[in-house]
């Protein structure tokens, strides 16, 4: 059966082509490069690969390239990732698709294995961050077969928003007009054509401790009780639906006990589909106000952040923030700071502010920080460092190294919002912040019991 890649180039379906042409007629399989959507079910990229494989009467192979050089990633992140790959491998096996893990940069591993197995076509999932863009562009240049990308970790395909959105209020109506079309159960077709075991390409066993040692992964210590993978993601989802979602609208800013889903890291690593999560929430029977509040965070805010990273090449620098915010911060750059802390003091949670210290320590120990506290945390870094550029760099460095969901569009957008006014508006002018929104310790006390939270964090030490 002849299938031209141009025939499946469909932005409305979240599919775009990086290398055009016809599948290699002598190809022996379809290769699916898994990167951001690290799961074996409810995965549109894997689904597309299987559909193409069945149409071409070819087996499918999923490959993951594990590099030790991912920017800012630490030992805690790699353990979480490898736990997810175990689940992905098992789910893929049940669909008749083998999984191969290889060590090295994707830009080297993917072209090499494509040539080795004589792939007819290569499918991959989208990744909006800079390193993902660099990898896929290099891979496209090194392949001699068609290469297509599938948007597998959003509800509404990012291609429908080709320009950078100004704020939630500009993207919200566009998403809401279309999301019912995409909020449908994700199919999980099985591969009709199997690999012969004797011709499967070699790969690494998923032995987490051995791989961590082989790659010499260090950095922030592991959080062993923070389990990765699709099995754990589904467990957390069920807990959220029964215990927390019914109170989400009024209590989501409570860090103790947390009323959030605590699924941000699993979403970051692609261990659960946002569509799966959104459908479960919509069908939960929880109050409509709670469902609406959660979908606002899961779809509107999250996909606004993805749009920011995908459309703004300076998403991880202050100069990626709006001109009005940069101008007001520059105007107040020489304002006296109440106190200055070094990056090392901030990392060690050695400030005069017990709430900020508690938030930082929670992140160091547990790999997470409540969403509301992340805003306060980043804004205080602006107040306690010499300039906004330094504050932005320090906040991102700490977020990316210690948060289990670091290096994510949500994190980049969150720091840009807190320090650079991204997706926000001007507020009354004040020292240091200018017209960038200010937050105080007193204002947090109106949202939750900060003393209780501080005491809870102390119990973790």
The series of mean pLDDT values per 10 residues for the chain, 461 residues long, is 56 90 95 98 97 96 96 96 98 98 98 97 97 97 96 97 97 97 96 87 94 93 94 98 96 88 97 98 98 98 98 98 98 97 98 97 95 95 98 98 97 98 98 96 84 93 81
Q: What are phi and psi of 356, to 5 degrees?
A: -65, -45
Q: What are phi and psi of 296, to 5 degrees?
A: -60, -45
Distance CA 416, CA 431 (A): 19
pLDDT for res 147: 97
> How many CB atoms within 10 Å of residue 7?
10
Strand order in the sheet with 29-33: 15-19, 147-150, 119-125, 29-33, 60-66, 99-103
Q: What is the set of domains in the chain, with CATH numbers?
A: 5-153 (3.40.50.620), 154-184+230-311 (1.25.40.80), 318-460 (1.10.579.10)
pLDDT for res 8: 60
Please name which of 81, 134, 106 lies closest in space to residue 405, comparing C-alpha atoms.
Answer: 81
Please name which of 421, 435, 405, 373 lies closest in space to residue 167, comparing C-alpha atoms.
Answer: 421
Spatial contact of 299 and 260, defined as CB atoms under 8 Å apart: no
Distance CA 200, CA 29 (A): 11
- CA 264: distance to chain centroid? 8
Query: With the CA atoms of 235, 236, 239 and 244 taken in that order, what torsion angle do they form, in degrees rounded to the nearest 10?
Result: -170
Query: With the CA atoms of 85, 91, 95 and 98 taken in that order, what torsion angle do they form, in degrees rounded to the nearest 10?
Result: 30
3-state secondary structure the chain: CCCCHHHHCEHHHCEEEEECCCCCCCCCEEEEECCCCCCCCCCHHHHHHHHHHHHHCCCEEEEEEECCCCCCCCHHHHHHHHHHHHHHHHHHHHCCCCEEEEECCHHHHHHHHHHHCCEEEEEEECCCCHHHHHHHHHHHHHCCCCEEEECCCCCCCHHHCCCCCCCHHHHHHHHHHHHHHHCCCCCCCCCCCCCCHHHCCCCCCCCHHHHHHHCCCCCCCCCCCCCCCHHHHHHHHHHHHHHHHHHHHHHCCCCCCCCCCCCHHHHHCCCCCHHHHHHHHHCCCCCHHHHHHHHHHHHHHHHHHHHHHHHCCCCCCHHHCCHHHHHHHHHCCCCCCCCCCCHHHHHCCCCCCHHHHHHHHHHHHHCCCCHHHHHHHHHHHHHHCCCHHHHHHHHHHHHHHHCCCCCCHHHHHHHHHHHHCCCCCCCCCECCCECCCCCCHHHHHCCCCHHHHHHHHHHHC
Spatial contact of 30 and 49, defined as CB atoms under 8 Å apart: yes
Please name which of 340, 321, 346, 461 lies closest in space to residue 402, comparing C-alpha atoms.
Answer: 346
Spatial contact of 437 and 427, defined as CB atoms under 8 Å apart: yes
Distance CA 313, CA 320 (A): 7
pLDDT for res 427: 98
Please name which of 435, 334, 439 lies closest in space to residue 381, comparing C-alpha atoms.
Answer: 439
Cross-strand bridge partners of residue 29: 119
pLDDT for res 1: 44
pLDDT for res 273: 98
Distance CA 434, CA 137 (A): 40
Distances (CA, A) of 322 to 57, 172, 305, 424: 51, 19, 15, 9
């Amino acid at each position: 059966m002849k299938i031209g890649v141009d025939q499946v180039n469909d932005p409305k379906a979240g599919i775009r082509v990086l290398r055009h042409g016809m599948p290699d007629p002598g190809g022996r399989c379809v290769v699916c490069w898994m990167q951001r959507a690290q799961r074996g079910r409810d995965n549109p990229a894997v689904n597309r690969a299987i559909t193409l494989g069945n149409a071409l009467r070819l087996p499918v192979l999923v490959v993951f390239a594990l590099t030790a050089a991912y920017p800012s990633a630490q030992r805690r992140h790699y353990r979480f990732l490898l736990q997810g790959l175990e689940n992905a491998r098992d789910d893929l096996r049940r669909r008749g698709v083998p999984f191969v893990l290889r060590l090295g940069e994707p830009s080297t591993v993917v072209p090499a294995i494509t040539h080795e197995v004589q792939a007819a076509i290569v499918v991959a999932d989208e990744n909006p961050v800079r390193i993902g863009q660099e990898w896929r562009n290099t891979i496209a240049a090194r392949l001699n077969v068609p290469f297509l990308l599938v948007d597998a970790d959003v509800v509404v395909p990012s291609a429908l928003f080709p320009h950078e959105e100004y704020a939630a209020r500009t993207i919200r109506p566009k998403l809401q007009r279309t999301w019912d079309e995409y909020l449908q159960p994700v199919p999980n077709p099985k591969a009709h054509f199997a690999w012969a075991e004797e011709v499967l390409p070699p790969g690494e066993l998923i032995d987490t401790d051995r791989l961590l040692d082989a790659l010499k992964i260090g950095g922030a210590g592991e959080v062993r009780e923070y389990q990765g993978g699709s099995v754990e993601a589904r467990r957390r989802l069920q807990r959220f639906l029964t215990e927390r979602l019914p109170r989400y609208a009024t209590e989501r800013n409570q860090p103790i006990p947390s009323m959030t889903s605590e699924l941000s890291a699993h979403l970051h690593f692609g261990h659960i589909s946002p569509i799966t999560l959104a459908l479960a929430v919509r069908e939960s029977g929880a109050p409509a106000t709670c469902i609406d509040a959660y979908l606002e965070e899961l779809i509107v805010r999250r996909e606004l952040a993805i749009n920011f990273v995908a459309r703004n090449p300076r998403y991880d620098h202050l100069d990626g923030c709006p001109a009005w915010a940069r101008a007001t911060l520059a105007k107040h750059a020489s304002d006296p700071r109440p106190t200055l802390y070094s990056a090392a003091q901030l990392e060690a949670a050695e400030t005069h502010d017990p709430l900020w210290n508690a938030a930082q320590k929670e992140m160091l120990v547990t790999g997470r920080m409540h969403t509301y506290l992340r805003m306060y945390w980043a804004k205080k870094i602006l107040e306690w460092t010499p300039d906004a550029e330094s504050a932005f760099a320090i906040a991102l460095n700490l977020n990316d190294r210690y948060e289990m969901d670091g290096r994510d569009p949500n994190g980049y957008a969150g720091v840009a919002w807190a320090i650079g006014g991204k997706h926000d508006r001007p507020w009354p002018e004040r020292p240091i912040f200018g017209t960038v929104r200010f937050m105080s310790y007193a204002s947090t006390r109106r949202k939750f019991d900060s003393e209780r939270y501080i005491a809870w964090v102390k119990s973790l030490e």
